[in-house]
Amino acid sequence: MPVREAVFEDVEEICALIEEHAVYEGKHDLALDRAEMSGHLFGPEPKAWVLICTPPARPDLVAGFAFCSWNFSTWEAKPGIWLDDLFVRPEHRRHGLGRELLDALRARTTGRVEWDMQQGNAKAEAFYARLGAQPVPGWTRYRWQP
């Protein structure tokens, strides 16, 4: 199966994927602390979780990931999934791995699966539209940082 739950030994690959995604999006100076990320994902009180995808013919190779956390909708009274990062390395795209990752998320909840997308990303817009996902009209995301 090309999608699996990340394990502690995947921390280096997870951080590398996040940094590669940042470069892909134009942020070239992101450098993550592997020990800190390890604690957030695999410590005594994990704050997020990751699914890893591998090419079917190369289960030893990490092709991409979905970085997630649980959320909760009070109006639906159901838990859902917040997808913070979805990234498939360019050389592994167009083989259905992104779809496999999102299908695996959809199977984990009867609630919402939500994410943000950088404006102007036409390829991602087309991909999400093919899945049947739609932008949420009338809502603006806010961010309050320290």
Residues marked active site are found at 128
Which among 83, 68, 76 is positioned nearest to 128, based on CA atoms? 83
Maximum CA extent, the chain: 45
Which residues, 6 or more positions from 32, have their beta carbon under 8 angstroms from its beta carbon?
15, 18, 19
Sequence-ordered strand ranges (E) for 54-134: 64-73, 78-88, 113-115
How many CB atoms sit inside 10 A of residue 128's CB? 18
Q: Is 71 exposed, middle or buried (0-12, 13-18, 19+ CB in 10 A)?
A: middle
